[in-house]
Structure 1
Amino acid sequence: MASERAGFLTQMVEVLTSTVSFGERLNNMVHLLARNLKVDLALYFGLDKAKETLALNISSAGPVPPHLRVEFPLGQGLVGEAAGTRKMKVAHRHQAGVAAANAGLEKLHPAYQTLAAFPVADDNYLYGTLILVDREDRSFTPTERQGVQLACLMLAGTLRQAIVQEEAKKRIAELSVLFEVGKALSSTMELDELLERIVSTTAKVITARGAALHIADGVSGEPLVSSRYGRIPPECPALPKMEPGAGGAVEPPHFEGQSADAKGLMHYCLAVPLTFKGQLQGTLGVYDKFTPSGEFVPFDPENRQLLYTMAGVIVNAIENALTYQQVEDLAERNERMVKNLTALQEISQVMLTTVQEDRLLEILLQGLTLEQGLGFDRAVVLQVDEAAQTLKGAKGARRPARPIEAPNDKALLLPPPAELPVAEWEIPLRADQGPLALAVLKKQPYHHTQTLKEPVLPVVLKGKFPAQEFFVVPLVVKDRATGVIVVDNQASGRPLETEPLHVLQMLATQAALVLENAHLYSTIEANNRELLLIRERMLESDR
């Protein structure tokens, strides 16, 4: 008897230390136990991750087909009782309530008479229950019970090793994924390219068919940036706005959704929040996890944990890319501002070289249309006729077809190569005459876009100045509007940006003063000529 027990334990140790997979070791142990005790069946029920249900995993009779997979809630049936109390239980069919409580075992052994349940556990964890089933009404000797308990400890040790190895594989896989993610994130600082890499890498790591990322202002809710990858089913709900602490203390916040398409096919989505340092809020989501066979399945807690980990890694990269983009935008803005202010200074300096009104208008139009100036496609100057209370066309010009290859101060002195015929333009100064008259009457700039709500152009300009968008700046001297400057980019289709328009308003202020001085100079010069003529006539009469 002792030799048989020693032989059995030797075989169990050999199986425990074998190099086969953990699944094969567990199967061999269960088979060996059933053969040694000479019972009809040895069954292992494993506790699920939720620690609520024990499901049949291994049978000494061979692989368990799906229709024979029996489950017992924790605490119910002999299987659940042994797991709940962590104590050995023996029951016989003739005892009251045994058959009813263990009805699930009828499918596995309809003629059983004896059931013996042993918890499979170590010092810390419960892994499941081992059930011995026999058709004879038998009892188990203390030696047999001790042998089974030793076998259960070996089963627990094997299961613990399997769990540790599985966790190690997952951690290694996660580290490998994070290494790839980090490598992809560190390879660029361009925001759009970075977001594309984030969503594509996320989808591939989670084995999802699509992924999306959204970032918005946390105060105003205004969307800032977003990126999508793969196929995102329209049936899935939009990614919600999630607060970083919305999940409470139990688990981090997340969103899981599912919906069916017209064919009844289920689609799944999973999203977690992106936690930024500032007022930004973001969401990272994946859609339709698929199996090797192409079937869509729900996302599991491991996918959720991996998505949390990835979200924590990518936030810093996104913040750096956003900062980099802001610095680049600021640098470009400063560069444009320097260019525009330099052009303004050069135009102002060249305008000081003459007091001839026609030459000043030419210099002004050159500065407005030259590429190295403000670069508008067209520019027109209209002046106020106070006697007639109208705006009259003074001069107009188009942007040169070819850039003028000369220093800016020299190019500004050249006459405009492509003038616009505006001498016949005459607009009454009334509020119903459109944006040009309104700019004079209100002494305010006017940004006109072609919409139903905007004031229409006056009849005299119909067909003469076709433009979907233009900007009107009044020429104001001592609280008196003396004319307007009109610019547009109709030919190139470029939008009228804010910065050149600000510079245009500064230029209009200087141009108004210079043109007023030129007008006064021409008036004084005409008066001087008239006085000289009168003097000459008086001298001739004295003779």
Structure 2
Amino acid sequence: MTTTATKKRINRARILDKVIRIVNSRIRHEKKLQHILKTVAGELGLEEGFLFLLDKGQDLLVLQVAGDRIENWTGEQAYKLGEGMIGRAGSERKFLSGSLKAEAQPTHVGDPAKRIIAMPVSDDSFLYGAMVFVNSGTKRLTGAQIDLLKAVSLELGGIIQDFRMTVEAKRRVMELNALFEVSKAMSSTMNLEALVGNLVSICARLVSARWAELSITDQANEIVAGATFGKKIADTHPSVCVSLGLGNDFCGDLCAADKISWQDGTNVPFDEEDRRLLHSVGSFVSSALDKSIMFKEVESLARNNAIMVQTLSSLYNISSNMMTTVDFEELIDIILKSMIHSEGLGFDRCALLLLDERSRTLRLHKCFSRVERSPEPVTENRAESQSCEHEPPVQDIQIDFVHESGAPAQCLSERRPINVIDPGDAFFNPQGPLQSFLEFPFAAVPLLAKDKDIGVILVDHALKRRPVSEDELKNLCMLVYQAGLALENSRLYGFIDHVNRELKEAKEKLIESEKMAALGEIAAGIAHEIRNPLVTIGGFARRASGIVSPESDLKRYIDFIVAGVARLENTLKDVLNFSQDAVGGFKYFDLNVVINEALDHLRLDLQENDIQVEKDLVPSPKVFGDSRQIRHVYFNLFLNAIQAMESGGLLKIKTFYSTESGRTYITSVVEDLGGGIPVGILHNIFNPFFTTKARGSGLGLAIVHKIVTRHQGDISVDNVPGKGVSFIIKFPVYASA
């Protein structure tokens, strides 16, 4: 008896020793449970052992481990607590045994000779499952064996508890690491996109999900920021979502799906712990996301403000530069160059079409395009920046100012900008001379000055091959508005300057006329006073010359008196001609005839001085005036030319029609090669009694100037010292001519 008891104790000790060795081994806990079941069944002579683990969520005991193969179990795969022998063993926490047939599935008949032994796996506080052994009908367990099974069940409970504590500890460590990473991500950047990307990957690892998504939307349901981690395998897999507590203007959602089991890597549903954890993380990161959103908005406002400041600064610089000139063409150059300048509006090409009110057409006036190197700043010297800008040859392109001519005409007629995205749209860019020029997306902006239509400005991004943005169009409209005012000021300045010049010329002519009139009256009075005694002296001197003998010395003296009197008579004649202001007898005459008559009077002088005459006369130019006075004008000019070319030369005479300030003139040019007029006396040549000749009266050019002025004409001088001088005479052409 003693020997038998000793053997039983030795067997029990050996079994527990094996169990403890298995418990302390380094194999996985599933293998530990499997080896223990197999070892105990073998040592106690039982067929096979199985382990049912408790699913707390559903109060089920689910078959998880078998000593050999799970497929060998012929009963149900799960038992509800309190139902069946296995369920009652778990709920009542006591040892139960019975027939296997009672626990078998309906499809299995079960072996009535076989019995099962069910024992709870638990400790003082928790139920972990039920340990079940299949036994042959003849095998009976002793009390010692049952006590051994109870001890083994405690070891199994310890293994399960240790494993769960290890898993929980690892999970807590992972959660702490994830929270640390969340904190680190929150403190490492204020960039919203980067923060969202970091957070979504951390949250996916936190709940062991293959897929996660974080999205933030505004009140209009537009996505402000979002990021996705992994790839969603199937929509049927369980998912979990939590809302983020962001500000009133934004909503956020954090979702995860495809949770991976710690034990075997399979997909398992999310539990309340996962939801609580995601909710905690969501609450934790909401403030950081709020700050990041605010930072992004502030950053966006700062960028927009910087762009606005840069734009306003550029517009200010351009406006300031436009104030440096009132010249129309120079102003257009400044405006167009500022549109293609990198520090201006930055377009690639720009063109100006001016409106011709008379023909009602838009004509291409000037265009510029960007070159590889950016032009110098628009505030720099304009001459230096010319080399950096390309001004293509301006073709004679014009379109009718009608709605059917496309966007340029439409924008001016409707007085609104037009942004053409598709240059192939025939409505905005129909076939015509401008179609090839507008081959890229472009914008057309009307150029207005108050209520006056000036033209159209066209811009595009030909190099970048992109449309004009709305912000660029707004900036362009602001510049074009300023440009319209500047061009109107230029036009008004030009008009005022023209009027001032006309007034100044009229004033000078009036002063000259009054001076000449006063001088003429004085000269006429003096001439009349001198003429009477001079006629007497001349008459007696000529008579005496005929009486005195030619051999007498007195004859020579008398001839000196006669010659002097003749010179005085010619001078008096010039003075009287200068003082006359007759306009009676004006009629239309052929200017060519008058010029040829003046040449005929001087033909002998021309021949004697070996002077060639070259004529280029327009056919039958009609002038309204006194042909006798006009003949005297050309006679004096030809005579001056002959006197200037005493050693021979060439006298050129040319007539042609010209237009100035909208008025038509018949213009004549008398050119000689007599060496020109000294620059120092050029301003005095039309003054009366000014002469550099020993025998001149100084009234020749003064009389010429007066006659031309009397005929509403103009005379000017083109002097080339050392070569010659040209007198340009203009007579107005009247409609009745």
Task: Provide the TM-score with structure 1 as the length reference.
Answer: 0.74
Written as runs of structure 1 = structure 2, the 5 A alignment for 1:88-107 is 88-91=95-98, 93=99, 99-103=101-105
Q: How far apart are 1:430 and its partner, in Å?
A: 2.7
Q: How far apart are 1:117 and its partner, in Å?
A: 2.5
2-structure distance, mates of 1:159, 1:88: 19
Equivalent in the alignment of 1:244: none
Q: Which amino acid aligns with 2:101?
A: A
Equivalent in the alignment of 2:429: 457
Written as runs of structure 1 = structure 2, the 5 A alignment for 1:482-521 is 482-521=454-493
Secondary structure of residue in 1 paired with 2:381 = helix
Q: Does residue 305 of the first structure (1) align with residue 274 of the second (2)?
A: yes
Equivalent in the alignment of 2:128: 127
Q: How far apart are 1:320 and its partner, in Å?
A: 5.4
Q: Which amino acid aligns with 1:135?
A: S
Equivalent in the alignment of 1:395: 366
Equivalent in the alignment of 1:374: 345
Secondary structure of residue in 2 paired with 1:301 = coil
- Give yes or no for contact 1:117–1:129 (8 Å, CA) kept in 2: yes
Q: How far apart are 1:383 and its partner, in Å?
A: 3.1
Q: How far apart are 1:515 and its partner, in Å?
A: 0.8
2-structure distance, mates of 1:212, 1:516: 64
Q: Which amino acid aligns with 1:171?
A: R
- Give yes or no for contact 1:357–1:518 (8 Å, CA) kept in 2: yes
Equivalent in the alignment of 1:82: 89
1-structure distance, mates of 2:116, 2:371: 100
Q: How far apart are 1:341 and its partner, in Å?
A: 1.3
Q: Which amino acid aligns with 2:494?
A: S
Q: How far apart are 1:362 and its partner, in Å?
A: 1.3
Written as runs of structure 1 = structure 2, the 5 A alignment for 1:117-266 is 117-136=118-137, 148-149=149-150, 151-177=152-178, 179=180, 189-190=190-191, 213=213, 215=215, 217-227=217-227, 232=231, 257-258=235-236
Equivalent in the alignment of 1:252: none
1:402-453 Cα distance to aligned partner (Å, 9 max, x none): 2345673434985584224457343333333222222222222222211676
Runs of at least 5 residues in structure 2 that lack an aligned partner in the other structure: 518-737
Q: Which amino acid aligns with 1:44?
A: L
Residue identity over aligned pairs, in percent, reads 27
- Give yes or no for contact 1:48–1:54 (8 Å, CA) kept in 2: yes
Secondary structure of residue in 2 paired with 1:450 = coil
1:470/1:183 Cα in 2 relative to 1: closer, same or farther (>3 Å)? same
Task: Provide the TM-score with structure 2 as the length reference.
Answer: 0.57
1:447/1:282 Cα in 2 relative to 1: closer, same or farther (>3 Å)? farther
- Give yes or no for contact 1:77–1:102 (8 Å, CA) kept in 2: no
Which structure has the higher relative contact order (CA within 8 Å, separation 6+)?
Answer: 1
Q: How far apart are 1:56 and its partner, in Å?
A: 3.8
Secondary structure of residue in 1 paired with 2:235 = strand
1-structure distance, mates of 2:453, 2:262: 74
RMSD (Å) for aligned C-alpha atoms = 4.6
Written as runs of structure 1 = structure 2, the 5 A alignment for 1:24-35 is 26=33, 30=37
Q: How far apart are 1:510 and its partner, in Å?
A: 1.7
- Give yes or no for contact 1:467–1:488 (8 Å, CA) kept in 2: no
Written as runs of structure 1 = structure 2, the 5 A alignment for 1:331-480 is 331-405=302-376, 408-411=379-382, 415=386, 417-422=389-394, 424-450=396-422, 455-480=427-452
Q: How far apart are 1:44 and its partner, in Å?
A: 2.9
1:231-266 Cα distance to aligned partner (Å, 9 max, x none): x58xx6xxxxxxxxxxxxxxxxxxx614xxxxxxxx
**In terms of mean alpha carbon deviation, does 523-532 or 193-202 score higher?**
193-202
2-structure distance, mates of 1:214, 1:129: 43
1:78/1:459 Cα in 2 relative to 1: closer, same or farther (>3 Å)? same
1-structure distance, mates of 2:424, 2:125: 76
1:260-283 Cα distance to aligned partner (Å, 9 max, x none): xxxxxxxx6857456251313345
Written as runs of structure 1 = structure 2, the 5 A alignment for 1:261-300 is 272=241, 275=244, 277-278=246-247, 279-282=250-253, 284=255, 298=267, 300=269
1:462-519 Cα distance to aligned partner (Å, 9 max, x none): 3452243222222333344433322211123355344443332222222111111111
Q: How far apart are 1:55 and its partner, in Å?
A: 3.7
2-structure distance, mates of 1:11, 1:332: 78
2-structure distance, mates of 1:24, 1:399: 78
Q: Aligned pair count?
A: 501
Equivalent in the alignment of 1:72: 78
Runs of at least 5 residues in structure 1 that lack an aligned partner in the other structure: 237-255, 259-267
Secondary structure of residue in 2 paired with 1:20 = coil
2-structure distance, mates of 1:217, 1:412: 54
**In terms of mean alpha carbon deviation, does 379-388 or 308-317 score higher?**
308-317
**In terms of mean alpha carbon deviation, does 13-22 or 351-360 score higher?**
13-22
Q: Which amino acid aligns with 2:476?
A: L
Q: How far apart are 1:371 and its partner, in Å?
A: 1.8
When you count helix as a share of all residues, which structure comes out higher? 2
- Give yes or no for contact 2:376–2:385 (8 Å, CA) kept in 1: no
Q: Which amino acid aligns with 2:365?
A: A
1:480/1:458 Cα in 2 relative to 1: closer, same or farther (>3 Å)? farther
2-structure distance, mates of 1:175, 1:156: 28
